[in-house]
A = this chain, B = another copy of it.
Amino acid sequence: MEKPRLPDTPFWVEPESVDPHRLKLTPDESHHLLHVHRAKPGTPFEAIDGNGILYECVLESVERRAAVGRIVGRREGAGELPRPIEMIVGLPEWRGVEQVVEHAVPLGVTSLDFASCERSVRGALGPQRVARLIRIARAALKQSRRTRLPSITSSRTVQAALGVLGSGERFMADPAGTPFTAGAIGAPQAPIQLAVGPPGGFSDAERRILLDGGFSPISMGPSRLTTETAALALVSVARNSM
C-alpha cells in the first residue's frame, strides 16, 4: 500500500477552536487531513490560526468529522520577519490587487491597505472584495508557512490610509527618489511602512501628503513599473534589509 504523503503545509484552525492543549480543525481542513492525507490517530500535522504561532499537533480523534489535534509544540513567530511591513498600495485594477496579495503575503507584509487614489479608476473595495482578498491571504499564509495573518483593508483616500497608520519608518516609491539602501533602515523595532502609487502615480497633492507624513522617496530604478511590480519590488528590498 502506498504510504500517504505527510502534509508539508500547515492546516488552518479558527482562533476560537484552539485551547491550551487541543485544537479542532475546520470541516474543510479536517477533510483534507483525514481523506487526502489519510491521517490516522497518531499522525503528526501542523496548524496555524493567524495569530503568529505554529502549532505542532498529533491527530487525537475525530469528532463529528472534525479533526482534533493534541498540541505537542508551539513555535512563536514561525515564518515571520523580525519587523512588521505595513503597506499602502494605490488601488490598481482587480487583477493587480490579487497579484499583490498573492506575492506580498509570502514576502512577509503584515498589512496591506489598497487606498483609492485620485488616479485610481474606482473607489475603495467593498467588504466582499476585501473578504475575497483575506481568503487569498490565508491560502498564501499557509503555503508560505507564515503564521501571522496580515490585515487587509481598502481606504477611501491616501489621507484616510495615513490616518490609521501608527508610527514607523516610511518609504514611498517615487521617480524622484534615491535608491533604497540597507542603511536607510534605522530603529530595529519600528514597523517599516511603504507606499506605492496607483497606475498613473500619486497626484501632486497625495505625494505632498505622504512627504509631509514622513515618507522618504525611493527610486525604483530606470524603468517604469506597474503598481503591482513596484509593490513587490519594494517589499523585496525592504525585507532583505532587515
A residues near B (Cβ < 8 Å) are: 78-81, 99, 102-103, 106-108, 143-146, 179-182, 221-226, 228-229, 232-233, 236-237, 239-240
Which of A143, A180, A224 is most buried by chain B, counting CB atoms within 10 A of its CB?
Answer: A224
Identical chains bound together, number:
2
Nearest Cβ on chain B to A17's Cβ, whole angstroms: 24
Distance of A223 Cα from B225 Cα, bound (Å) = 25
Other-chain residue from B145, B226, B229, B237 in contact with A223 (beta carbon distance below 8 A): B145
A224 — which chain B residues lie within 8 A by C-beta? 79, 106, 143-145
Nearest Cβ on chain B to A3's Cβ, whole angstroms: 18
A226 — which chain B residues lie within 8 A by C-beta? 106, 143
Smallest CB gap from A102: residue in B = B229
Other-chain residue from B145, B222, B228 in contact with A103 (beta carbon distance below 8 A): B228
A237 — which chain B residues lie within 8 A by C-beta? 236-237, 240
A108 — which chain B residues lie within 8 A by C-beta? 221-223
Distance of A233 Cα from B81 Cα, bound (Å) = 15
